[in-house]
Amino acid sequence: DIVMTQSPDSLAVSLGERATISCRSSQSVLYSSNNKNYLGWYQQKPGQPPKLLIYWASTRESGVPDRFSGSGSGTDFTLTISSLQAEDVAVYYCQQYYSTPLTFGGGTKVEIK
């Protein structure tokens, strides 16, 4: 199984400041034949299902604000919120879809400082 490790477990950021979440996979999720990283990012607010933010490591889902961006390749990935808004308070998960079983990171809780 591919183990996904997120850091930090939680972070508090001031409104308008940058939030950065890291995700590391135990093996590469880069598929060499198409040069795609099989990595997604999700946002989950209390009482709601997760919402897809980013797929293929850096492609923003339709309707997702451009303050959310994804980067990285191979085993190391980052989700960045460039200017934190109050509505961004949530838990964020990374997920690999390179191989089954599909696995998620443990989540990072983002709060307002």
Partner 1 sequence: QVHLQQWGAGLLKPSETLSLTCAVYGGSFIGHYWNWIRQPPGKGLEWIGEIIHSGSTSYNPPLKSRVTISVDTSKNQFSLKLSSVTAADTAVYYCATSPLSCNGGSCSQSYFDYWGQGTLVTVSS
Residues that bind partner 1 (CB under 8 A): 31, 33-34, 38, 40, 42, 49-52, 55-56, 61, 93, 95, 97, 100-107
* DSSP-assigned states of every residue in 2-66: --EEEE-SEEEE-TTS-EEEEEEESS--EETTTTEE-EEEEEE-TTS--EEEEETTTEEPTT--T
DSSP annotation of 75 = T
In angstroms, give the least distance from the CB of 80 to partner 1: 18
- CB nearer to partner 1: give 60 or 83: 60
In angstroms, give the least distance from the CB of 99 to partner 1: 8
In angstroms, give the least distance from the CB of 56 to partner 1: 8
- CB nearer to partner 1: give 14 or 96: 96
3-state secondary structure of 86: helix
- CB nearer to partner 1: give 26 or 83: 26
CB-based burial label for 11 (10 Å; 0-12, 13-18, 19+): middle
- CB nearer to partner 1: give 19 or 54: 54
